[in-house]
C-alpha cells in the first residue's frame, strides 16, 4: 500500500555506495530536480492562465519574475528531502493560485490588482463578481492544473524515490544550484541595467520600465510589465519602505522648495469667515443619477433651491482614498495611507486647521472604525477631536454591511454633528448604499424604504430602465440600492430640519443653517450596477469613467444671504446653464476630480494652501483639473472639446482617444501633479510635516 507520508522519507529504500549509483535508473538519481522543475512549470502556467483570463498581454518583462522563480527552485535543489520540497512548493503555488484568482476577479469586476495590504478588498471583488456576472469558467483550467500538480507529486513520490547514498560526495547538486542562482542573478541584473533612463516629464515615465520598477508608483503597469513574483516582491518592498519616494525625488531631481502659496483667482466668492461652521459628507457609492425627487426628496429639493451642483465630477477611487484626499488634498504613491501613514500628523488636514481655530472637530462613520483603520487615521493623522462609529450608537440595528441605516447615523448624532453652542467642523461617512449585491433581498431590513419604492414604482421605472428588466437579480439590486438612498435622504433631511430650527448660540439671531456650509460628494460610482446604464449608453461598462458621474454639492450660507447677491457668482465663466428663474440651484459645469474637493473647501474659507503639497483646484476657478485614480493607477482629465482623456495604460476606453500631441498639452499639469505627490511623500517619509509653518493653514488667511 502506498503511504503518501512515509514515501517522502529518504530513509525508505535501499542504501547505495558511491560506486553502485551507476546501476540506479537516471530518474531516481536526479529525482530531487523534479519537484523544483514542476514548480517552475506550474508557476509559469498559472501566470499564463491569469493574464489570459484578465484579457491582458503576457508580462513584457517576465524575465524578472522567472529569475526569482529559478532562484527559489535552485535553493530547493540543495535538498533531497522531497517532503521539504513539496511542502515549500505547495505553499508557494497555493499563494500564487490565490493571487491568480484574486487578480482575475478583481480586475474583471473592479479593474483592481490585488496587493498584500488590501487583502480585504478581495471580499468586495468576489461580491462584485456576482453582480457583474463574471464568467467563472476560468476556474476550470485552474482546477485541472491543481489536479495535474497533485497527481504529478504523487507519481514523483511513488516512483522517483531518491536513493540514499552512503558516503556520497554530492558535488553536482550544489554546483547546479549555485550555477542556477548565479545565472538568475546575472540575468536579473543585466535586465535591470539595460532598462531605459527616466524621462524629463512624468507623462513619459508612465510606461518607462525603469521608473515603474523603481518607484512602484503605477501598480497595474508594474503588474503588466514584470509579472507576478516581481510585482509582489516590489509590493512587499514598498510596504517595508525599501522603495521610497525620497529616492524617486532624487532620481527625478524633485525637491521640496520653500512654501509656495497657490494663486486662487476666485476673489468673487462669498467667503465664509472664522466662526462659520462646516459639515462634509462622503456619500458612499453614490452616482449622480441616483439623486431623484422620489427616493431623495430632501437632498433633491435642497439642491434645487440652495446649492451649487457640479456637473462633471468623476471619482473612481476606493473609499479610503477620497476619504483621505478630501481631508488633506494629498495623494499617496505606491502605498496605502491608512496602514502606512496613520501615525503621521498632517498640519494642513481640515480637522487640524479648524482645530487650531478653536473649533470642535468630529468624524462619523456608520460602520466599524477599524475598517480602513479609521479609528486611528482620523484621530492621529487627520486630527479629529472625536471619532464616532457604529459602536457609539445606542440603536444597535445592523441593516447591512455591518452598519446601521444612515437615517439612524444622522438622527442619533445631530447634536454631535452640529453643536449649537460652539463652532464646529464635522465629517460624516455614510454606508447604506455600500456593497449591495444580487441574491439578497433587503426588504425585511428596509420595510419603510421599500414602501417608498412601491409607491413610486412607475416613476422610478421610467428613471431607471433596469427596473423593467426580466433579470430578477438586476431588479433586486437596484431596489436594494434605492432603499439605501431613501434611508440616507431621511437622515440628511433630519439634519436639515435640525439646522433650520436650531439657534446658533455663537451667532445671535441666526439659525445654524445660516452659519453652516455643507459639502457633499460621492467617493465613487456604483461599480456593480451603474444606475446610468441604458439611460446613458456610454455608461454600460461599470468600470469605465464616462457616464458614471458622482454627486458633488456645495452649500454656501453666505452666498445665499441677501447681503451677498448671487449675481457675483454668475460672473464666473464656469457657471453655465443657470436657470434665471431660480436664485439658487445653480450648476457648475466643469471636469472635476476628488483632488479638487479639498481646494474647494479651502476656497470657501479663504485658506491659503501650498501648491507643492496640496493639488487640485477649487470648482470656483477656471484652472483645469486632472484626476489621479487608484483603480488602474491612471491620470485622467478633459479636453477643451469636452472629450475625456486618460493615460496610456487604460483599457477599453469609451470616447475620444487623445493623440500623443494632445497629451503633451497637459504634460505640465501632470508633471505638477506628480511633483506634488513626490513632495508630500518625501515629507511623509522624512516626517518633515513638523517643520511646516502652520500659520499659512489658517481660516481666512487668503482674505488677509
Write down the pLDDT at residue 666: 74
Rounded to whole angstroms, the Cα distance separating 355 from 367 reads 25
The DSSP result for 534-554, as a single string, is TTSGGG-STT-STT----EEE
* 3-state secondary structure (DSSP) of residue 140: helix
Write down the pLDDT at residue 373: 73
Residue 250 or residue 544, greater confidence:
250
Kindly tell me if the per-residue pLDDT of 346 is higher than 80: yes
By the 8 A CB rule, do 238 and 215 touch? no
CA dihedral angle for residue 148, residue 149, residue 152, residue 153, rounded to 10 degrees:
-150
Write down the pLDDT at residue 400: 52
Q: Which residue in 598, 600, 572 sits closest to 586, CA to CA?
A: 572
Rounded to whole angstroms, the Cα distance separating 12 from 18 reads 18
Write down the pLDDT at residue 333: 59
Q: Which residue in 256, 252, 213 sits closest to 235, CA to CA?
A: 213
Please report the domains of the chain, with CATH numbers, ordered by start residue: 6-206 (no CATH), 277-696 (3.40.720.10)
Residue 78 or residue 555, greater confidence:
555
What's the rounded mean pLDDT across residues 501-511? 94
Write down the pLDDT at residue 129: 46
Rounded to whole angstroms, the Cα distance separating 486 from 443 reads 12
Q: Which of 95-99, 235-239, 347-351, 395-399 has the lowest mean pLDDT?
A: 395-399
Q: SS3 sequence, 198-230? A: CCCCHHHHCCCHHHHHHHCCCHHHHHHHHHHHH
By the 8 A CB rule, do 253 and 202 touch? no
Q: At what angle do helices 34-54 and 219-239 cross, to 10 degrees?
A: 130
Handedness of CA 454, 456, 461, 464 (dihedral sign): negative
Q: Which three cell numbers stand for residue 243?
A: 522603495
**pLDDT band for position 622 (cuts 50, 70, 90):** confident
**pLDDT band for position 440 (cuts 50, 70, 90):** confident
Kindly tell me if the per-residue pLDDT of 582 is higher than 50: no
Share of the chain above pLDDT 70, in %: 69
Kindly tell me if the per-residue pLDDT of 619 is higher than 70: yes
The DSSP result for 316-383, as a single string, is B--THHHHHHHHHS---SSS-HHHHSTT---TTSHHHHHHHTT-EEEEEESS-TTGGGHHHIIIIIS-
Rounded to whole angstroms, the Cα distance separating 95 from 116 reads 11
**pLDDT band for position 318 (cuts 50, 70, 90):** confident
Q: Which three cell numbers stand for residue 118?
A: 488590501
Q: Which of 197-211, 285-299, 333-347, 469-483 has the lowest mean pLDDT?
A: 333-347
**pLDDT band for position 128 (cuts 50, 70, 90):** very low
Fill in the DSSP letter of residue 259.
-
Phi, psi of 317 (to 5 degrees): -80, 155
pTM of the model: 0.81
The pLDDT tens digits of the residues spanning 395-435 come to 665 555 555 789 999 999 999 999 999 999 999 999 888 76
Write down the pLDDT at residue 11: 41
Write down the pLDDT at residue 652: 47
**pLDDT band for position 141 (cuts 50, 70, 90):** confident
Write down the pLDDT at residue 5: 37
Q: Which of 12-21, 355-364, 613-622 has the lowest mean pLDDT?
A: 12-21
**pLDDT band for position 248 (cuts 50, 70, 90):** low
The number of helix segments (H) and strand segments (E) in the chain equals 25, 13
Write down the pLDDT at residue 573: 27
Write down the pLDDT at residue 94: 92
The pLDDT tens digits of the residues spanning 623-662 come to 888 887 665 566 777 777 777 777 655 444 455 566 667 6
Residue 527 or residue 96, greater confidence:
96
CB atoms within 10 A of CB 155: 11
Average model confidence (pLDDT) across the chain: 77
The pLDDT tens digits of the residues spanning 10-69 come to 444 455 445 555 555 555 666 778 889 899 999 999 999 999 988 888 999 999 999 999
Kindly tell me if the per-residue pLDDT of 682 is higher than 80: no
Query: Which of left, alpha, beta for 461 (phi over 0: left; psi -120 to 50: alpha)?
Result: alpha
Write down the pLDDT at residue 600: 92
Amino acid at each position: 500500500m502506498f503511504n503518501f507520508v512515509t514515501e517522502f522519507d529518504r530513509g525508505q529504500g535501499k542504501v547505495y555506495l558511491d560506486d553502485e549509483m551507476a546501476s540506479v535508473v537516471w530518474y531516481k538519481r536526479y529525482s530531487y530536480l523534479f519537484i523544483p522543475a514542476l514548480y517552475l512549470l506550474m508557476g509559469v502556467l498559472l501566470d499564463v492562465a491569469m493574464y489570459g483570463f484578465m484579457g491582458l498581454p503576457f508580462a513584457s518583462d517576465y524575465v524578472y519574475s522567472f529569475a526569482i522563480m529559478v532562484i527559489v527552485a535552485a535553493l530547493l535543489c540543495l535538498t533531497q528531502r522531497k517532503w521539504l520540497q513539496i511542502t515549500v512548493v505547495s505553499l508557494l503555488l497555493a499563494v500564487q493560485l490565490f493571487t491568480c484568482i484574486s487578480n482575475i476577479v478583481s480586475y474583471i469586476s473592479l479593474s483592481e490588482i490585488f496587493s498584500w495590504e488590501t487583502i480585504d478588498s478581495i471580499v468586495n471583488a468576489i461580491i462584485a463578481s456576482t453582480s457583474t456576472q463574471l464568467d467563472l469558467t476560468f476556474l476550470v483550467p485552474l482546477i485541472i492544473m491543481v489536479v495535474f500538480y497533485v497527481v504529478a507529486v504523487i507519481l514523483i513520490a511513488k516512483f522517483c524515490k531518491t536513493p540514499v547514498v552512503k558516503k556520497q560526495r554530492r558535488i553536482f547538486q550544489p554546483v547546479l544550484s549555485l550555477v542556477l542562482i548565479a545565472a538568475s542573478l546575472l540575468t536579473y541584473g543585466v535586465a535591470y541595467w539595460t532598462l531605459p533612463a527616466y524621462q524629463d516629464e512624468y507623462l513619459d515615465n508612465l510606461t518607462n520600465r525603469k521608473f515603474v520598477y523603481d518607484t512602484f508608483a503605477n501598480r497595474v503597469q508594474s503588474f503588466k510589465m514584470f509579472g507576478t513574483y516581481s510585482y509582489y516582491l516590489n509590493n512587499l518592498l514598498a510596504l517595508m519602505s525599501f522603495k521610497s519616494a525620497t529616492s524617486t525625488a532624487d532620481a527625478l531631481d524633485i525637491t521640496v522648495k520653500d512654501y509656495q502659496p497657490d494663486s486662487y483667482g476666485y476673489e468673487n466668492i462669498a467667503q465664509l469667515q472664522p466662526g462659520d461652521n462646516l459639515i462634509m459628507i462622503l456619500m458612499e457609492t453614490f452616482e449622480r443619477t441616483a439623486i431623484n425627487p422620489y427616493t431623495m426628496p430632501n437632498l433633491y429639493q435642497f439642491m434645487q433651491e440652495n446649492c451649487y451642483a457640479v456637473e462633471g465630477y468623476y471619482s473612481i477611487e476606493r473609499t479610503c482614498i477620497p476619504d483621505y484626499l478630501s481631508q488633506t488634498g494629498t495623494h499617496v504613491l505606491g502605498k496605502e495611507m491608512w496602514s502606512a501613514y496613520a501615525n503621521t500628523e498632517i498640519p494642513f488636514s481640515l480637522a487640524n486647521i479648524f482645530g487650531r481655530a478653536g473649533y470642535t472637530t468630529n468624524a462619523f462613520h456608520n460602520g466599524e472604525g477599524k475598517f480602513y483603520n479609521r479609528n486611528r487615521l482620523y484621530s492621529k493623522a487627520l486630527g479629529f477631536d472625536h471619532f464616532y462609529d457604529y459602536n457609539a450608537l445606542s440603536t444597535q440595528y445592523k441593516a447591512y454591511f455591518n452598519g446601521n441605516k444612515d437615517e439612524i447615523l444622522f438622527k442619533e448624532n445631530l447634536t454631535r454633528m452640529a453643536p449649537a453652542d460652539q463652532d464646529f467642523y464635522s465629517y460624516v461617512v455614510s454606508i447604506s448604499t455600500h456593497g449591495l449585491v444580487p441574491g439578497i433581498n433587503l426588504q425585511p431590513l428596509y420595510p419603510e424604504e421599500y414602501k417608498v419604492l412601491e409607491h413610486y414604482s412607475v416613476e422610478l421605472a421610467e428613471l431607471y430602465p433596469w427596473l423593467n428588466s426580466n433579470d430578477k437579480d438586476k431588479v433586486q439590486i437596484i431596489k436594494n440600492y434605492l432603499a439605501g438612498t431613501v434611508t440616507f435622504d431621511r437622515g440628511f433631511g433630519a439634519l436639515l430640519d435640525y439646522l433650520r430650527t436650531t439657534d446658533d448660540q455663537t451667532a445671535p439671531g441666526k439659525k445654524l443653517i445660516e452659519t453652516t456650509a455643507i459639502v457633499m460628494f460621492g467617493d465613487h460610482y456604483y461599480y456593480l450596477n451603474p444606475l446610468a446604464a441604458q439611460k446613458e449608453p456610454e455608461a454600460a461598462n461599470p468600470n469605465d469613467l464616462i457616464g458614471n458621474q458622482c454627486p458633488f454639492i456645495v452649500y454656501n450660507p453666505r452666498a445665499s444671504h441677501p447681503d451677498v447677491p448671487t449675481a457675483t457668482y454668475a460672473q464666473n465663466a464656469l457657471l453655465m446653464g443657470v436657470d434665471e428663474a431660480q436664485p439658487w440651484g445653480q450648476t457648475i459645469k466643469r471636469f472635476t476630480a476628488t483632488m479638487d474637493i479639498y481646494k474647494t473647501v479651502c476656497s470657501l474659507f479663504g485658506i491659503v494652501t501650498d501648491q507643492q503639497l496640496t493639488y487640485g483646484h477649487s470648482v470656483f476657478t477656471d484652472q483645469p483639473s486632472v484626476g489621479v485614480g487608484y483603480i488602474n493607477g491612471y491620470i485622467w482629465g478633459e479636453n477643451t472639446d469636452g472629450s475625456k482623456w486618460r493615460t496610456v495604460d487604460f483599457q477599453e476606453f469609451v470616447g475620444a482617444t487623445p493623440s500623443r500631441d494632445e497629451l503633451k498639452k497637459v504634460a505640465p499639469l501632470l508633471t505638477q501633479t506628480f511633483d506634488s505627490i513626490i513632495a508630500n511623500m518625501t515629507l511623509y517619509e522624512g516626517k518633515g510635516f513638523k517643520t511646516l509653518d502652520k500659520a499659512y493653514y489658517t481660516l481666512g488667511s487668503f482674505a488677509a
